[in-house]
């Protein structure tokens, strides 16, 4: 692929980039070395205002048991041994009998609450005693807080009425049930009484106030009379979710994400989007509407997706945090690693089914952007959002093997979008790696098809990031633009070290410098639950009650909260030979602020100045935020951060004197009124 925009050395000069060999020892010196000069030119280049976003994928229990605030595991009785060998529709539930109660339970499929939700549970009570019922211990326990409200809902219907099978005296009245939160030892932490009345499915709802805090509580539903009931979609939510939305998101985790100020959210995958085999492709239509009508399915990362966190919730979250939605839909093919066949498992949707598949893609755009009077816009409105969501980007494909089957289907989908919705920006894919056969074939195809943006992925060692800081300088600006959709520096042991975070910071300076061709970027993966982490490193770790952002999160936040929409050419001089140093400067037209970022991943502090004379003569103080420390440092789960960004002020002026510590990212924010 030719990218003959400018020569490598010309790009180095324009970029002002000086670097970079590798450093071997990491002992830190406090003595500033060198006399580094960062010179900012007043020749703004427009760059993407959407450069820094996030990528949410349901991996590492990111959705169910994670961001999605539902506290019951397997609420729909749809877990399967195809998801985990030891699982069944009954997993995470057990029978409880109280005070001489006797009964039985089993999974049934005879009269589902909805065809998309085929299994339910049947509870038979032969002797009520103090109750016969079912217990669920959630996702590694149910965390409850004293004084907090919990909303319960379930679908239920009565069985065995009128004693048709001669089980004793006729059962005619409703079935009283009690729904409780209990400690592991059975102590009741709050309860509510409901009743099941009649043989039709009905939704029952109530709320429980927890009387004490317990991170490992249980949910119990007890029937209190002889008879039988079927139940499904048994749900327990904290009343307080992010923005207090019903069927909402875990407030602390969502807030941690919101605090990144991402410009967009890519979802739901990743490999999850194209699935393991065509029957596992993520189908957005299965994820909207009432939760009991959604079609859960297995997650290619080896567990179950309830899709309670579905497209409506994703779009609502985007809106709530001011991020643009970037849904990714399969390009009519599944993951090439499908069905335990790494690299050769790609399956293609049969051509006969492609028109319907393409219609699903077009319907998504109508659902997101159409008026409430349109067929799909009406469904969005019925869910509570009459105004359009304002979809601008749509991803087609993820890391796909660039085969004839992929190309044919991608083209059909992209052409249909272009024809009906020319204002939508299609993001294509160029395989799983930053080079190689799929990358080259993907680029060639995307270029020929005039795809607007292509999605590049790289999980590489920190040194690779430092060695690729000029990667985009030579990209041909007449060809498709770039979305760096998944990246992370994988340090030794795949740890979230400061070294990895600084390598990513260096990359981000290069993305700012090339923000005319790189339009979007997102670190991956975003979330990982303790005890269910399948992939490292990740940006944010959590368990049921705590959240531990990584040092990589700090870097993401420093860039996304100090982003600009114009790049000011940034030249570095006086960099010691072999030093890992990178810098960039942007202006944010909203605030008018100019922001300089300097990454120093050497063992010594570097002293110097930022020559701002071309852009400012003012003398007001500059906000200076520094993240620095031992390059091997990483945040330990549940502990205070090993290192944190520290903000101070510096005297402003045309020349800003500063010292950039060993192994540091420094962000200098020069207020608008100074220039």
Binding-site ranges for ligand AHR (CB under 6 A):
57, 59, 269-271, 398-399, 432, 486, 524-525, 535
Q: Using CA atoms in the order 396, 402, 403, 407, what is the torsion angle rounded to 10 degrees?
A: 40
Query: CB of residue 434 vs ligand AHR: minimum separation in angstroms?
Result: 12
Nearer to ligand AHR, 57 or 593 (CB): 57
Q: Tell me the torsion sign for CA atoms 419, 425, 431, 436.
A: positive
β-partners of residue 97 are 132
Beta bridge partners, 194, equal 177
Active site residue 399: yes
Looking up tokens 């009785």, which residue turns up? 77
| Least separation in angstroms between CB 337 and ligand AHR | 9
Determine the Cα–Cα distance for residues 57 and 535; give it in Å rounded to an integer: 12
Backbone angles phi, psi at 473, to 5 degrees: -60, -40
Three-state secondary structure string covering 104-161: EEEEECCCCCECCECCEEEEEEEECCCEEEEEECECCEEEECCCCEEEEEEEEEEECH
Residue 448's SS3 state is helix
Query: Rounded CA gap, 196 and 603, in Å?
Result: 69
Residue indicated by tokens 């506290």: 71
Q: Which is nearer to ligand AHR, 66 or 525 (CB)?
A: 525
Tell me the three state secondary structure of residue 13.
Answer: helix
Given the residues 83, 182, 292, 399, select the one marked as catalytic.
399
344 and 403 Cβ atoms separated by less than 8 Å: no
Pairwise CA distance, residues 312 & 389, whole Å:
10
Widest pairwise Cα distance in the chain: 94
CA distance 593 to 330: 40
Contacts with 606 (C-beta within 8 Å, 6 or more apart), sequence order: 32, 33, 34, 36, 575, 576, 579, 581, 600, 659, 660
Output the smallest distance, CB 245 to ligand AHR, in A: 26
Both tokens assigned to 634: 């990483």
Cβ proximity to ligand AHR: between 270 and 661 the closer is 270
Q: Alpha carbon 454 to chain centroid distance?
A: 19
Which residue, 443 or 487, has its beta carbon nearer to ligand AHR? 487
Minimum separation from the CB atom of position 629 to ligand AHR (A): 27
Q: How far is the CB of 523 from ligand AHR (least distance, A)?
A: 9
Q: Minimum distance between the CB of residue 524 and ligand AHR, rounded to whole angstroms?
A: 4
**Nearest C-alpha neighbor of 55 from the set 399, 297, 349, 389:** 399
Contact of 483 with 453, CB cutoff 8 Å: yes
Residue 438 or 543: which CB sits closer to ligand AHR? 438
CA dist 509 and 476 (Å) reads 19
User: Among 415, 530, 510, 504, which residue's Cα sits nearest to residue 470?
Assistant: 510
- Find the shortest distance in angstroms from Cβ 246 to ligand AHR: 29
- Shortest Cβ 105–ligand AHR spacing (Å): 37
For ligand AHR, the closer CB: 368 or 527: 527
Contact assessment for residue 670 and residue 593, using Cβ atoms and an 8 Å cutoff = yes
**Tokens standing for 200?**
């039709």
The residue sitting closest to ligand AHR, measured at its beta carbon, is 270
Q: How far is the CB of 430 from ligand AHR (least distance, A)?
A: 12
Specify the residue, 542 or 660, whose C-beta has the smaller distance to ligand AHR. 542
φ and ψ at residue 288, rounded to 5 degrees: -120, 170
For the annotated catalytic residues, the residue numbers are 399
């Amino acid at each position: 692929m030719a990218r003959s925009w400018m020569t490598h050395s010309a790009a180095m000069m324009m970029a002002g980039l000086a670097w970079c060999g590798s450093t071997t020892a990491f002992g830190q010196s406090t003595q500033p070395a060198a006399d580094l000069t960062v010179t900012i030119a007043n020749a703004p280049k427009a760059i993407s205002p959407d450069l820094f976003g996030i990528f949410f994928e349901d991996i590492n229990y990111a959705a169910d048991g994670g961001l999605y605030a539902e506290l019951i595991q397997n609420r729909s009785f749809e877990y399967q041994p195809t998801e985990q060998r030891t699982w069944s529709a009954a997993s995470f539930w057990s029978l409880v009998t109280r005070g001489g109660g006797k009964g039985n339970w089993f999974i049934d499929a005879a009269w589902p609450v909805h065809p998309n939700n085929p299994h339910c549970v049947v509870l038979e009570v032969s002797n009520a005693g103090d109750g016969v019922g079912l217990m669920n211990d959630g996702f590694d326990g149910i965390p409850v807080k004293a004084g907090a409200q919990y909303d319960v809902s379930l679908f239920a219907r009565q069985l065995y009425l009128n004693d048709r099978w001669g089980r004793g005296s006729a059962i005619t009245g409703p079935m009283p049930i009690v729904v409780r939160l209990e400690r592991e030892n059975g102590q009741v932490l709050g309860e509510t009484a409901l009743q099941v009345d009649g043989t039709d499915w009905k939704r029952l709802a109530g709320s429980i106030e927890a009387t004490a805090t317990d991170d490992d509580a249980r949910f119990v539903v007890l029937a209190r009379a002889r008879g039988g009931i079927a139940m499904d979609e048994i749900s327990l939510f904290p009343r307080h979710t992010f923005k207090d939305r019903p069927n909402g998101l875990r407030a602390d985790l969502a807030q941690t994400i919101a605090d990144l100020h991402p410009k967009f959210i890519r979802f739901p995958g990743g490999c999850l989007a194209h699935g393991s085999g065509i029957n596992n492709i993520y189908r957005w239509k299965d994820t909207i509407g009432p939760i009991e009508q959604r079609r859960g399915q297995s997650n290619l990362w080896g567990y179950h997706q309830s899709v309670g966190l579905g497209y409506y919730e994703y779009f609502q979250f985007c809106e709530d945090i001011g991020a643009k939605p970037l849904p990714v839909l399969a390009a009519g093919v599944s993951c090439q690693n499908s069905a335990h066949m790494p690299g050769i498992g790609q399956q293609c949707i049969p051509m006969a089914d492609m028109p319907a598949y393409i219609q699903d893609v077009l319907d998504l755009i109508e659902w997101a952007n159409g008026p409430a009077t349109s067929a799909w816009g009406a469904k969005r409105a019925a869910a509570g959002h009459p105004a359009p969501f304002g979809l601008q980007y749509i991803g087609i494909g993820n890391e796909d093997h660039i085969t004839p089957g992929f190309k044919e289907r991608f083209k059909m989908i992209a052409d249909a979008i272009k024809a009906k919705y020319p204002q939508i920006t299609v993001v294509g894919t160029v395989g799983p790696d930053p080079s190689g056969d799929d990358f080259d074939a993907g680029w060639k195809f995307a270029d020929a098809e005039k795809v607007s943006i292509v999605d590049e992925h790289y999980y590489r060692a920190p040194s690779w990031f430092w060695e690729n800081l000029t990667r985009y300088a030579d990209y041909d600006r007449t060809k498709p633009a770039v979305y760096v959709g998944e990246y992370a520096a994988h340090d030794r042991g795949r740890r979230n070290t400061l070294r990895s975070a600084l390598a990513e910071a260096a990359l981000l300076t290069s993305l700012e410098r090339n923000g005319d061709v790189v339009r979007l970027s997102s670190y991956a993966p975003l979330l990982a639950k303790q005890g269910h982490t399948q992939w490292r490193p990740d940006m944010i770790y959590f368990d049921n009650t705590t959240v531990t952002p990584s040092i990589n999160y700090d870097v993401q936040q420093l860039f996304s909260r100090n982003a600009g929409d114009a790049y000011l050419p940034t030249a570095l001089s006086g960099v010691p030979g072999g030093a890992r140093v990178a810098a960039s400067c942007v202006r944010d037209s909203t605030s008018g602020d100019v922001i300089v970022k300097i990454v120093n991943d050497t063992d010594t502090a570097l002293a110097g100045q930022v020559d701002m004379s071309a852009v400012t003569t003012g003398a007001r103080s500059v906000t200076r935020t520094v993240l620095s420390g031992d390059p091997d440092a990483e945040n330990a789960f549940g502990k205070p951060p090993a290192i944190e960004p520290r903000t101070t002020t510096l005297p402003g002026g045309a020349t800003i004197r500063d010292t950039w510590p060993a192994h540091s990212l420094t962000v200098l924010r020069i207020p608008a009124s100074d220039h």
